[in-house]
């Protein structure tokens, strides 16, 4: 039996290792000159490849009821798998990294096992068409390949510079599968306002609240990077998918709390500031200097037409504190697939047997990784799903 795996990324490499046994041949078709190109870039080259917190809230799909049992069943298998491969890792606040702090270590342990199993890798091989007759006929830019089974792990259309151009979706549709609408996720957000050059370069801890149709959808806390087009950072990335899938971005709005370390309400915060200023003749900007970047202070004061040297006790505090703790970021649009780390949407999970990752439409066709309608938060979740689905597909495909 020959098993062809289309895509040599995280999901494809994992599928190949688990598909190989003494009774079959496994071949990887990779469009790039080497496997794992996108994997090498993950985590800024450090490869945060797993997270011990596998709560379903970190994964996003329209078929949550199908994904939930899959995550519960497959998640305990990943760390033992990599331990068996010989990867030494470290854990920081539940995030797993190679101990070397290099994604190359992760890629190498996978490729070493691929080599030891005599799995064939055909690089610079772009799949043009797949047809299912008695067997699968795979037409590439180099040759025609016949396979008994196919695992489609071609990625999404996010970060096309790594080779993800959306071709896997084209192949899936050719084979009769439907897609949930595709949108960039884990990406920066562009805003509508005029003052972004004033805050460019600022990094600030903040709490972000995303409202859609005036209803709170989600909150994230972390470091926000303020740019000349809007906002970036992990907490922004985690909200971006919910924005990108909207039919009208005006339905969404983000409020920024620049005081995430203070748990009380606005009235309590005003009392706290009053107490700080009680024994000193602080201006409003002097008072804010203790906890806020001066560029942000200047923007807030300009928007409210308050002079920076205005004494604190002369300021109308309600409106000022509301702006400080509920600063409105007016979204223009998410950035494009070019900048996105992953894609929201993909092959509908209802068309997949989640016990095996086999297509319900075409026998012998399996799916793994980002091509499916599953995307995760930052923190190892997208790689985690790639590994879980790749392992599941590989093991199932190896069975006659």
Nearest to 220 by CA among 230, 203, 233, 202: 233
Distance CA 237, CA 189 (A): 8
Query: What pairing do the DSSP bridges indicate for beta strands 331-334 and 189-191?
Result: antiparallel
Distance CA 346, CA 157 (A): 10
* Per-residue confidence in pLDDT tens, the chain, 400 aa: 999 999 999 999 999 999 999 999 999 999 999 999 999 988 788 899 999 999 999 999 999 999 999 999 999 999 999 999 999 999 999 999 999 999 999 999 999 999 999 999 999 999 999 999 999 999 999 999 999 999 999 999 999 999 889 999 999 999 999 999 999 999 999 999 999 999 999 999 999 999 999 999 999 999 999 999 999 999 999 999 999 999 999 999 999 999 999 999 999 999 999 998 887 889 999 999 989 999 999 999 999 999 999 999 999 999 999 999 999 999 999 999 999 999 999 999 999 999 999 999 999 999 999 999 999 999 999 999 999 999 999 999 999 7
Distance CA 122, CA 16 (A): 13
Element (H, E) at 57: none
* DSSP character string of 273-313: HHHHHTTS--BHHHHHTTTS-HHHHHHHHHHTT--TTSBGG
Q: Per the structure block, which two tokens stand in for 389?
A: 């689905």
pTM here is 0.95
């Amino acid at each position: 039996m020959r098993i062809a795996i289309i895509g040599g990324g995280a999901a494809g490499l994992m599928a190949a290792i688990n598909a190989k046994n003494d009774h079959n041949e496994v071949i990887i078709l990779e469009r790039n000159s080497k496997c794992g190109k996108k994997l090498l870039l993950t985590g800024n080259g450090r490869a945060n490849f797993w997270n011990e917190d596998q709560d379903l809230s970190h994964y996003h799909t329209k078929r949550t009821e199908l994904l939930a049992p899959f995550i519960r069943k497959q998640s305990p298998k990943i760390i033992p798998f990599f331990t068996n491969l010989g990867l030494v890792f470290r854990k920081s606040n539940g995030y797993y990294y190679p101990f070397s702090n290099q994604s190359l270590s992760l890629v190498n342990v996978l490729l070493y096992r691929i080599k030891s199993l005599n799995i064939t890798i055909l690089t610079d091989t772009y799949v043009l068409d797949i047809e299912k007759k008695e067997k699968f006929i795979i037409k590439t830019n180099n040759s025609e390949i016949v396979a008994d089974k196919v695992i489609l792990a071609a990625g999404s259309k996010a970060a096309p510079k790594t080779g993800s151009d959306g071709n896997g979706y084209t192949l899936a549709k050719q084979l009769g599968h439907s897609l949930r609408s595709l949108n960039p996720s884990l990406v920066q957000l562009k805003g509508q306002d005029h003052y972004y050059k004033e805050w460019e370069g600022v990094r600030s801890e903040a709490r972000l609240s995303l409202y859609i149709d005036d209803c709170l959808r989600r909150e994230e806390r972390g470091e926000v990077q303020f740019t000349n087009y809007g906002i970036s950072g992990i907490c922004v990335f985690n909200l971006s998918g919910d924005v990108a899938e909207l039919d009208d971005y005006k339905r969404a709005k983000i409020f920024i709390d620049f005081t995430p370390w203070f748990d009380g309400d606005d009235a309590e915060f005003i009392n706290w500031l009053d107490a700080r200023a009680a024994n000193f003749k602080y201006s409003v900007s002097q008072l804010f200097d203790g906890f806020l970047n001066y560029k942000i202070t200047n923007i807030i004061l300009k928007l409210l037409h308050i002079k920076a040297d205005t004494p604190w006790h002369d300021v109308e505090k309600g409106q000022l504190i509301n702006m400080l703790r509920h600063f409105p970021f007016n979204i223009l649009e998410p950035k494009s697939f070019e900048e996105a780390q992953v894609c929201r949407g993909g092959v509908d999970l209802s068309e997949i047997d989640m016990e095996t990752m086999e297509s319900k439409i075409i026998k012998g066709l399996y799916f793994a990784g980002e091509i499916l309608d599953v995307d995760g938060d930052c923190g190892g979740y997208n790689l985690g799903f790639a590994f879980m689905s790749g392992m599941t597909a590989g093991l199932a495909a190896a069975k006659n």
